[in-house]
């Protein structure tokens, strides 16, 4: 697989988000199956793996650490801090917590769960309004100086916040939701990333599965699946948004590709510093998604795709209100 730059990091041009191995999409698969899929993704060429302390909490980092232990020096592991999780019990408390003392304790625990002596890319999961971003960047700088962290990242941050953080400790990558139906980072965040030499990592590049064309209004989400309470996944919203999938499928048919491959190929064509992270529990889906790297979209094809999509109004917010309000601060 070809590589791209996330700031100073060289990674595969498509990365793997491992959140789907928690219960956020319903019941999790057996641990050994999850390990098989994660290692299989590396065998297929992926070198960037993304997790977070909040996934579980904690259990996802433990899984990723075990799966990647034999491959540690061949991969880039990214994880995230910032939620208010009790460091003793793992209990999720209300709100955020990026206080310097808390972050330092969290990172020590992350290193144990991941079974490693350093974190390649450490993101602040959400911007904490109660802690100046300069203090957060300074804390990560201290962790880098201590050898516990290699690079600093931000997730769902506003352009002004990114610039302030970057002035204290260079930001290697910014992660935000970005796809054919979620294009919020385009006006401000992506131009800033280009200006400052920061990599951009789209999460949910397949619209939580919707852009694959495999979900319909008759799809029944398992208990615990976050889409069951997401505004874009009500029956009414899915029915209206099916027009988006229709446009993607039309181009996919012309390219003898799948809708998922077209959605990922579009992201790769947008900017050379974009590295999408898709999530799936199935190795055959990993293989399918990686096929996007072999699809060439001409400027004319991209213009037509975007023009057709611009005529369609996306129905429903991308996240539930309580989560959405934490973005772009």
Catalytic residue set? 55
For 194, other C-beta atoms within 10 Å of its C-beta total 13
How buried is 236 (Cβ within 10 angstroms: 0-12 exposed, 13-18 middle, 19+ buried)? exposed
Peptide bond before residue 57 is cis, with ω within 30 degrees of 0: yes
Q: Can you tell me the distance from the alpha carbon of 259 to that of 249, in angstroms, rounded to the nearest whole number?
A: 5
**Side-chain half-sphere CA neighbours of 86 within 13 A:** 7
Q: Can you tell me the distance from the alpha carbon of 135 to that of 83, in angstroms, rounded to the nearest whole number?
A: 16
Q: Does residue 232 contact residue 210 with C-beta atoms inside 8 Å?
A: yes
Q: What pairs with residue 274 in β-bridges?
A: 200
Among residues 70, 65, 100, the alpha carbon closest in space to that of 82 is found at 100
């Amino acid at each position: 697989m070809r590589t791209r730059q996330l700031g100073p990091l060289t990674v595969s041009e498509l990365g793997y988000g491992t959140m789907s191995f928690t219960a956020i999409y319903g019941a999790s698969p057996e641990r050994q199956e999850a390990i098989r899929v994660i290692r299989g993704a590396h065998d297929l060429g992926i070198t960037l793996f993304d997790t977070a302390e909040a996934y579980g909490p904690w259990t996802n980092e433990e899984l990723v650490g075990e799966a990647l232990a034999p491959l540690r020096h061949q991969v880039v592991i990214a994880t995230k801090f910032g939620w208010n999780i009790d460091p003793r019990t793992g209990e999720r408390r209300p709100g955020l917590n990026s206080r310097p003392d808390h972050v330092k304790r969290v990172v020590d625990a992350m290193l144990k769960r991941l079974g490693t002596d350093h974190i390649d890319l450490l993101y602040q999961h959400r911007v904490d309004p109660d802690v100046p971003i300069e203090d957060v960047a300074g804390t990560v700088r201290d962790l880098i100086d201590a050898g516990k962290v290699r690079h600093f990242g931000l997730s769902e941050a506003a352009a002004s916040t990114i610039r302030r953080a970057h002035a204290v400790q260079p930001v290697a990558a910014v992660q935000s939701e970005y796809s054919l139906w979620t294009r919020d980072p385009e006006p401000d965040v992506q131009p800033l990333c280009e200006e400052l030499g920061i990599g951009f990592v789209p999460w949910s590049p397949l619209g939580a599965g919707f852009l694959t064309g495999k979900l319909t209004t008759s799809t029944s989400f398992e208990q615990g699946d976050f889409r069951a309470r997401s505004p874009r996944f009500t029956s009414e919203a899915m029915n209206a948004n099916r027009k988006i999938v229709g446009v993607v499928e039309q181009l996919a048919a012309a390219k003898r590709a799948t809708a998922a491959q077209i959605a990922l190929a579009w992201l790769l064509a947008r900017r050379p510093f974009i590295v999408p992270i898709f999530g799936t529990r199935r190795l055959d889906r990993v293989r399918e998604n990686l096929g996007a790297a072999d699809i060439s979209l001409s400027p004319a094809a991209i213009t037509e795709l975007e023009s057709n999509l611009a005529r369609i109004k996306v129905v429903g917010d991308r996240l539930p209100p309580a989560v959405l309000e934490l973005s772009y601060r």
